[in-house]
Amino acid sequence: MEFNIAVEPASTWFADAVIFFAFKDSEEFLPGFSRWMATEADWVAGSSGLQDFTGELGSTTVIYGSSTSIPRVVLLGLGDKSEFGVEPFSQAVSSVFCKCRELKFRVVGVPLTAFEGIVLEDMHEHFVVAAMDGLYAYDEFKSKKEKNGTLPESVKLLTEVEPLETFVETIHKGQAIGAAVSYARDLVNSPPNIANPVFLAEEAKKLAKKYDFKFKALKRKDIIDKGMGAYASVFKGSVDEPRLITLEYCPKGREGDKPLVLIGKGVTFDTGGISLKPTGHIEDMKCDMAGAAAILGFFKALGELNPDLPVVGILPCADNMPDGLATRPGEVVTSFSGKTIEVLNTDAEGRLLLCDALAYSEQFEPAAIIDLATLTGGCIVAFGWSVAAVMDNSPKLEDLIIESGMRVGERFWPMPLWDIYKEELKSDVADLKNVGSREGMTIHAGMFLKEFVPENVPWAHLDIAGPAWRKKKTATLTAGGTGFGVRTLIELLSQIDLEDI
């Protein structure tokens, strides 16, 4: 779907339908809609369909007329004005574009005057991203594609006045972010026999070639030879080759500056290893690389937006499978940092990849580190499916992540990393054990990772186990990968000062 800005007199606007917005129980329509009806479409004001409109969040009313240039008007409900924000706005926009696809519209018009009276920061960016998100579908392996799956073909942003250059940039940014989120969703939704570690490395290599990033991928022997025993313990039982992927982005003039380092868990399928997961939804464990997918999506947007901030991505990727060579519960491994780990549960494998990646990141002299991982089921128990946990050693970084997430409709909430939790990780035979008790499991995972963060480096761990995956299809959004985290990371770039964390 393309977004085009059309600068034309209102009398010449053309589209299969135009979209206008309205709040619930509002005594008056938004000014842009009222003005357009009065000057260009008096037939809308006289329509009985106008009385059917409730303004409930996501509700739509289609008003049909006799005009050949604009034969339909779609009114979209934004819900209660007192509860309005980026999340309800995005939900509403996603729903109306689903409706446009259902009605087989090829060209959808959205007058810029339709946004008058809506107070929301970065509104046009959110509009573009939500429209793309609502129309997302994954049908790569369907022999019969959805008949109307490519509709709408274009969105015309209609205006009578030449827009500011900043508006054009906003639309471009929205498209870049929307494409990045869709890309991350595609990666998560891909079946594990396709999206294995080598596949992810190839995807990273393509991004590097297209956007001139530095790329490197360490193979099985490289990982073992470097002494990453914790990481290697995860892929010992898998026939799929692991890859430790690095991507480096550095704008001109920032060479030598300390980068923001992003680390993404890339377990392309998690059986639990010898500590085999119980049956029931184990097929969903292809989503255990959603952290790595989010970072690849982020780098795709990075290449389009070119922010003035150096960034390094580190993606430790592997399968966690049981076979005769797989790590057994009770084994002791030596991590890249030199610390020894008693592996009591092979299903707590994500922290074993991440701990070596965290220690490995020191060579990049990071200004700050953020890791993303679908790490613990305990996070879902604590927060449900819509909220991610943040644990960190930097209050400033924590605040930036939470605030950036709220600005784009992704929710994070802090959990403590107090020293009282260290006791749970003490081992009788090694420096650490990889699990504590069931109670507080999400915090224990964060405490474990904290032990491997380079000294004096601000760090935050994001447990995205819940919001990275949508178990059920909703009225507006498909089930599967969500691309959660991509938007927060992009927003963070515009907010963060790496010298003041």
With a CB cutoff of 8 Å and minimum separation 6, the contacts of 38 are 45
pLDDT of residue 67: 82
Residue 148 has pLDDT above 90, yes or no: no
Query: Which one is catalytic: 72, 99, 286, 351?
Result: 351
What pLDDT was estimated at residue 383? 97
403-412 pLDDT, tens digit per residue, is: 999 999 999 9
Q: How far apart are CA 234 and CA 270, in angstroms?
A: 10
- Give me the phi and psi of 405, to 5 degrees please: -60, -45
Q: What are residue 461's DSSP bridge partners?
A: 371, 391
pLDDT, residue 471, reads 87
pLDDT in tens, 83-135: 999 999 999 999 999 999 999 999 999 999 999 999 999 999 999 999 999 99
Residues 286, 271: Cα–Cα separation, whole Å? 9
Q: Average pLDDT in the 27-46 region?
A: 91
Of the candidates 35, 226, 258, 277, the residue annotated as catalytic is 277
pLDDT in the model for residue 336 = 98
Residues 6+ apart with CB under 8 A from 65: 41, 43, 44, 47, 71, 72, 73
Secondary structure class of 8 (helix, strand, coil): coil
Cα Rg, the chain, nearest whole Å? 24
Q: Is 470 a catalytic residue?
A: no
Distance of CA 167 to the CA centre of its chain: 24
Q: Residue ranges of the alpha helices (H) in 212-255?
A: 220-225, 229-235
278 pLDDT band, cuts 50/70/90, is confident
Contacts of 500 (CB under 8 A, 6+ apart): 396
- More confident site: 277 or 147: 277
**pTM greater than 0.95:** yes
Q: Which phi and psi (to 5°) does residue 335 adopt?
A: -80, 170
Confidence of residue 48 (pLDDT cuts 50, 70, 90): confident
Q: Which of 269, 177, 256 is nearest to 491 (CA)?
A: 177
- pLDDT at residue number 211: 98
pLDDT digits (tens, 9 = 90+) for 306-338: 999 999 999 999 999 999 999 999 999 999 999
CA 484 – CA 79 distance, rounded (Å): 24
DSSP state, 141?
A: T
Choice among 9-18, 47-56, 368-377 with the minimum mean pLDDT:
47-56
pLDDT at 475 over 80: no
Q: Three-state SS for 261?
A: strand
Mean pLDDT value across the chain: 96
Distance CA 102, CA 74 (A): 13
What tokens does 447 get?
């405490």
* Contacts of 353 by beta carbon, 8 Å cutoff, 6+ apart: 230, 231, 234, 265, 266, 267, 316, 317, 318
Looking at residue 501, what is its pLDDT? Answer: 87
Please give the full DSSP string across 415-440, using - where no structure is assigned: ----GGGGGGG--SSSSEES---STT
The token pair at 483 is 């691309």
| Residue 186: predicted pLDDT | 98
pLDDT tens-place string over residues 383-426? 999 999 999 999 999 999 999 999 999 999 999 999 999 999 99
| Beta strands 340-343; 331-334: pairing state | antiparallel
173-222 pLDDT, tens digit per residue, is 999 999 999 999 999 999 999 999 999 999 999 999 999 999 999 999 99
At 25, the pLDDT band (50, 70, 90 cuts) reads confident
Instruction: Assign 279 a pLDDT band (cuts: 50, 70, 90).
Output: confident
**How distant, in Å, are the alpha carbons of 80, 90, 108, 206, 371 from that of 476?**
19, 10, 18, 31, 30
Active site residue 254: no
Sign of the CA dihedral with 368 first, then 123, 173, and 263 last: positive
Give residue-wise pLDDT tens across range 64-74: 988 889 999 99
User: In which band, very low, low, confident or very high, does the pLDDT at 170 lie, cut at 50, 70 and 90?
Assistant: very high
Percent of the chain with pLDDT over 70: 100
Mean pLDDT calculated for residue range 289-297: 98
